[in-house]
Structure 1
Amino acid sequence: MLVELGHYALVLAFALTLVVSVVPLWGALKGDGRLMAVATPVSVTVFFLVLVSFAVLTVAYVASDFSVVNVYENSHSAKPLLFKITGVWGNHEGSMLLWVLILVFFGALVGVFGGNLPDDLRATTLAVQGWISAGFLLFLLATSNPFNRYENPPIEGNDLNPILQDIGLAIHPPLLYVGYVGFSITFSFAVAALILGRTDAAWARWVRPWTLLAWSFLTLGIAMGSYWAYYELGWGGWWFWDPVENASFMPWLAGTALLHSAIVMEKREALKVWTVLLAIFTFSLSLLGAFLVRSGVLTSVHAFATDPSRGVFILGLLCLFIGGSLSLFAWRAPMLKQGGLFAPISREGGLVLNNLFLTAATAAVLVGTLYPLVLDAITGEMISVGEPFFNLTFGPLMVPLLMAVPFGPILAWKRGDLLAASQRLYAAFGLALLMTLFTFWLWGMERVLAPLGVGLAVWVMAGAISEIVTRVKFFEIGPKRGFARLYGLPGSAWGTATAHFGIGVTVLGIVTSSAFQEEQVRTMRPGDTVNVSGYELTFDGAVPRRGPNFVEEVGHFTVREGGAFVAEMKPSKRVYTARQMPTTEAAIHTTGFSQVYVSLGERRNDGAVDVRAYYKPLITLIWIGCVIMALGAAFSMADRRLRVGAPKPATKRKQTASVPAE
């Protein structure tokens, strides 16, 4: 009976999304406050109904109710409780239910916390969010119902994919989905603005905190997924340019461009057309990611489904939402009034340059991801687009962008002085040059580009610090007043500097771990020792061990440095008994920001084992930098100016809507 309640809650939620899709929008167009007032309570009710449905499915997993098809196919009674819970979204149907839960959660958030929004904008935004929710609820009910039952329930389940039986499944998908789906609100704001003709500085200020929230969670989600693949798959890499990895990276790039474009629109009422278009494109790329993961058009460890019928349904939603929004944009965009003018050398100009490089980088990743699929569909020819392509297209676009990052926040609005900005960055440039020369001295000329990459990372980090020093004017007003000004800096200033510093930290981790890592691949017998960058790894043998739903061979390695004991590492090879699927469990020892990484390969008949050992200098900076970036977004969201409504116009001209409502 409980399972049927979960199914009924989804059906009722779908019916209510149809109500919120029509009634508030009609009220907004007719100026009827009573109809607009329907939006918030109905949106909150939809969220609670989907939450009930999700809770019911979770209870079915915890109780190992194998009468539910979804539970039978993805769970096992011997599975640990944590993996029973995370298994709820470790499959197509459950993950889609989580997707919808987060989708309607954002609608409820706007309804509850959008009190500073004009009634018509809030009602229209929730109506558009209702359209999206209705589409995906219909997709769940029609093609991916998680509550289908067996008439004769089996005794035991098939177990969850062994790769997913990890703490990463508890963290990565929820973070990623909040980011993915969070951009639906910016999409809904954009479509609502086009419908109502409300595209002004106030609209940009209302959109920015929601964009920051989605962007920060997507940053953390991508970082967690990268680290999960790094330690779980045993291959020693943290990014493979897999199509599904790219599908999450493209909305991040577009969302980053949207954040910067919204700043220009808020401060100068410029780039209106571009900002609205970016809001549409960012969520469109999220929808594209959902299509790639669930359509069966590609095979990946990240892919959830291979049913073409589901892919056709999502493709229909993709065409409806993207095509409809772009058609509306094409109709309304010519009526958008342009905002204030600015010189090419200005903060606005720097943000425009940022957008150009980010959108070009997004296009490069999009082409590299879709080209093999399109070529296969048209000609039947199968090719692989991998790291060399992306290194030659994406990399060169990032270098000039990173070089320009420190200049942007230091330049003045409307008209800046490039020479004055350069003078404020002398110290940052000097430190970057010093680190470049030091890296050349340390590693020689074997890797010419790596020291330049280190210098570029230091340039970005030092530039972020210079931004704060410039704002506070330490050297002009003295330390006492300087610290007072430091305390009084707005959250957005701290957020910008922190996020830019985090980018530099991540770049430093990428460069050093990629260019200076050391790898040893050996077949080792008990007693053998391999040296990896000064660490001596002695193989002491392998012993069998049984887990709750798996058996494994655990290798024992003693790690020494200069003869002194450092650590014991225990990589393993597991076989999960229900599915008879093997997995590799790498062992990682962290020293400072660097790591020693060991994974086991095939075991030989004579007791020897294939071993892959790495030393990865400063690799943890990759993920630490992502956390710092997300922290920067949190600082920006804490800025009270994002909570007090529209900014006051710089001049006394009457502020009007950019597009007539009629």
Structure 2
Amino acid sequence: MIIEIGHYALILALATALIISVVPVIGARRLDRAMMDVASVGSLAMFALVAFSFAVLTYAHVVSDFSVANVWENSHSLVPLLFKFSGVWGNHEGSMMLWLLILALFSALVAAFGRNLPDSLRANVLAVQAWISVAFILFILLTSNPFMRLDPAPAEGKDLNPVLQDVGLAIHPPLLYLGYVGFSVCFSFAVAALIEGRIDAAWARWVRPWTLAAWTFLTLGIAMGSYWAYYELGWGGWWFWDPVENASFMPWLAGTALLHSALVMEKREALKIWTVLLAILTFSLSLMGTFLVRSGVLTSVHAFASDPSRGVFILCILLIFIGGALSLFAFRAPLLSAGGLFAPISREGALVLNNLILTVACGTVLTGTLYPLLLETLTGDKISVGPPFFNMTFGLLMAPLLVIVPFGPLLAWKRGDLLAVLQRLYLVAILAFVAAVIVFYIEHGGPVLAVLGLAAALFLIFGAIADLWYRAGAGKVAASIAWRRLAGLPRSAFGTALAHAGLGVVVLGIVAVTTFETEHVVEMKPGQTVEAGGYSVRFDGMKPANGPNYSEERGHFSIGRGGVEVADVWSSKRIYAARQMPTTEASILTFGLSQLYMSLGDPTDDGGIVVRIWWKPFILCIWGGTVIMATGGFVSLSDRRLRVGAPSRRAKPAPPAMEPAE
């Protein structure tokens, strides 16, 4: 009975969303406070209903209720409890329920914390959120119902995909969806503002915290997914330009541009039209990512759905929301004011250049991702656009951005002095280059261009420190005064510095591991030794073992340095009994920021086994840098100026419906 109640709660959530979709919009037109308040109360009620429905599905997984088709297809009585929880969203139907839950959560958060918004704007924002909710609840109920029953109930489940039975999957999808779906709020603000016909600095102030929150969670979600694939798939790589990886990376690029564009709009009331368009495009890219993963268009370890009807349904959602929002934008944009003016050499100019590079880079990734699909659809020919294309095009586009980023915070608003900034940063650039040469020498050389990559990464890190240094007046005033100035800086200043420094750490890791990593693919027998990264790796032999729902063959390795054993690890190949599916569990040893990575291959006829051994210097900088970036996002979110006190709109006598274009 509890399963049917959960299903019914989802139907009630649909009815609630339909009411929110209509009544507040009418209330905003009539300036009827009671009708507009329906949006807030209804959004909280919808979240409660969706949360209850999701909790029922989770309960079914935890108690292994195999009368529910979703549980039977994606669980097993022997699966550890953690993976019963993650199994809820480790499939198509459950992942869409998670998508809907987070969408309803953001609507409830806007209702609860958006009290400083004008009543009509809040009503319209929540109505647009409800429109999206209606579409996805209908999608779940009509094509992806997770509450379908089986009669008679099977005695045992098919088991969760073994590749997904990992703690990383318990973390990765929720973080990713908090980013994906979080951008729906920015989209809703944009559409609501276009409906009202008024966009100003106050609107940008209201949008920024939601953009920053979504960007921060998406950063962590992408990083967690990258690390999960790195250690779980046994392939030794951290990014492969997989189309589904790209599907999450494109909203991140657009969201980064939106974050900076909204800052310009808030400070200078410039880039209004561009910021609204970015808000629409960012969530549109999130919807497109949902379509790619859930439609069956792509075959990937990340993709779940293969039912064409689901793809058609999501494609209709895409056309309605993206097409509708862009049509509204095309109709309203010519009537909006263009905003303030500024000199090319200014902080605004640097942020515009940032936007230009990021959007072109996003367009490049979009082209490389969709072109093979479009070509196959139109001609039937299959081509592959792989890492060489993306590395060359994306890398060349992003290289100038890495150099420009430290300049932005040091330039003045409206009109800046480039020469003065150069004088402040030349010492930073020299230090970065010298440090890059030292790292290059310590790692025993490589391509000369690697020095420039390392220097650019260190320039980002040192530049972020220099920004805080000059803000505090260090070197020009007494140390005690400089310290008080530093402590008195707004938290957003520290958040910006952390985000930029984190980007530098990520680039440092990418350049170092790409340039200096070593790989050995060898056949090893017990007692044989291979040198990697200054360590000796001795293979000691294989040993069988059993887990809760799998059996495995484990290989033991002893790691030594200078004739002294420093560690030992196990690497294994598992067979999951229910699905009879093999997986490879790599063994990874961490030494500082570097890792020794060992993965078992196939056994040989003479009693040996193929082993792949990588030495990956500074590999942890890639994920550590993203954590620093996300920390910067959370620090900025803690800045009171981003949470309360949005500038109020000044009352104007008899304001026109739209601001005239300048």
Q: Deviations over 1:42-95 (max 9, x none)?
A: 100100101111110111111111111101000111111111111000000000
Q: Deviations over 1:126-183 (max 9, x none)?
A: 0000000000000000000000011211111100100000001110000000000000
CA distance in 2, matches of 1:110, 1:268: 25
What TM-score, normalized by structure 1, do the two folds share? 0.98
**What's the offset of the Cα at 1:658?**
9.0
Aligned to 1:480: 480
Aligned to 2:593: 593
**What's the offset of the Cα at 1:642?**
1.6
Is the CA contact (8 Å cut-off) linking 1:200 and 1:658 kept in structure 2?
A: no
Q: Deviations over 1:381-433 (max 9, x none)?
A: 11111100001110001100110000001000000000001111122111112
Change (3 A) 1:654 1:475: farther
Is the CA contact (8 Å cut-off) linking 1:595 and 1:615 kept in structure 2?
A: yes
The residue identity in structure 2 corresponding to 1:92 is H
CA distance in 2, matches of 1:658, 1:443: 65
- For 1:515-594, what aligned pairs fall within 5 Å after superposition? 515-594=515-594
CA distance in 1, matches of 2:652, 2:340: 14
**Structure 2 residue 244 is matched with structure 1 residue 244:** yes
Aligned to 1:375: 375
- For 1:442-481, what aligned pairs fall within 5 Å after superposition? 442=442, 446-481=446-481
Name which of 641, 652, 658 aligns with 1:660: 658
Aligned to 2:181: 181
Change (3 A) 1:466 1:165: same
Is the CA contact (8 Å cut-off) linking 1:206 and 1:645 kept in structure 2?
A: no
* Runs of 5+ consecutive residues of structure 2 not aligned to the other structure: none
Aligned to 1:273: 273
Aligned to 2:418: 418
* Runs of 5+ consecutive residues of structure 1 not aligned to the other structure: none
**What's the offset of the Cα at 1:440?**
4.5
Aligned to 1:125: 125
Which shows bigger deviation, 455-464 or 426-435? 426-435
The root-mean-square deviation of aligned C-alpha atoms, in Å, is: 1.5
Is the CA contact (8 Å cut-off) linking 1:74 and 1:158 kept in structure 2?
A: yes
Q: Secondary structure at the match of 2:343?
A: coil
CA distance in 1, matches of 2:453, 2:204: 35
CA distance in 2, matches of 1:428, 1:75: 55
Change (3 A) 1:641 1:19: same
CA distance in 1, matches of 2:500, 2:315: 36
Change (3 A) 1:453 1:654: farther
CA distance in 1, matches of 2:600, 2:368: 32
Aligned to 2:63: 63
**What's the offset of the Cα at 1:3?**
0.4
- For 1:252-291, what aligned pairs fall within 5 Å after superposition? 252-291=252-291
Change (3 A) 1:397 1:322: same
CA distance in 2, matches of 1:646, 1:221: 29
Is the CA contact (8 Å cut-off) linking 2:337 and 2:659 kept in structure 1?
A: no
**What's the offset of the Cα at 1:659?**
5.8
Give the % identical residues. Answer: 65
Aligned to 2:20: 20
What TM-score, normalized by structure 2, do the two folds share? 0.98
Q: Secondary structure at the match of 1:381?
A: coil
**What's the offset of the Cα at 1:444?**
6.3
Is the CA contact (8 Å cut-off) linking 2:336 and 2:659 kept in structure 1?
A: no
Is the CA contact (8 Å cut-off) linking 2:433 and 2:451 kept in structure 1?
A: no
CA distance in 1, matches of 2:652, 2:500: 36
The residue identity in structure 1 corresponding to 2:118 is P
**What's the offset of the Cα at 1:30?**
1.2
The residue identity in structure 2 corresponding to 1:383 is I
CA distance in 2, matches of 1:556, 1:605: 19
Change (3 A) 1:483 1:101: same
Which shows bigger deviation, 309-318 or 336-345? 336-345
Is the CA contact (8 Å cut-off) linking 1:202 and 1:645 kept in structure 2?
A: no
CA distance in 2, matches of 1:469, 1:567: 42
Q: Deviations over 1:357-392 (max 9, x none)?
A: 000000000000000000000011111111000011
- For 1:113-512, what aligned pairs fall within 5 Å after superposition? 113-442=113-442, 446-512=446-512
Q: Secondary structure at the match of 1:298?
A: coil
Change (3 A) 1:429 1:517: same
Q: Secondary structure at the match of 2:237?
A: coil
CA distance in 1, matches of 2:55, 2:34: 33
Q: Secondary structure at the match of 2:475?
A: helix
Aligned to 1:104: 104
Is the CA contact (8 Å cut-off) linking 1:571 and 1:587 kept in structure 2?
A: yes
Change (3 A) 1:657 1:172: farther
Q: Deviations over 1:290-335 (max 9, x none)?
A: 0000111111010011111100000000000000000000010001
CA distance in 2, matches of 1:512, 1:51: 44
Which shows bigger deviation, 348-357 or 603-612? 603-612
CA distance in 1, matches of 2:261, 2:419: 24
**What's the offset of the Cα at 1:657?**
7.5
Is the CA contact (8 Å cut-off) linking 1:528 and 1:538 kept in structure 2?
A: yes
Which shows bigger deviation, 432-441 or 159-168? 432-441
CA distance in 1, matches of 2:496, 2:237: 30
Q: Deviations over 1:219-255 (max 9, x none)?
A: 0000000000000000100100000000000000000
Is the CA contact (8 Å cut-off) linking 1:406 and 1:464 kept in structure 2?
A: yes
Aligned to 2:643: 643
Is the CA contact (8 Å cut-off) linking 1:196 and 1:661 kept in structure 2?
A: no
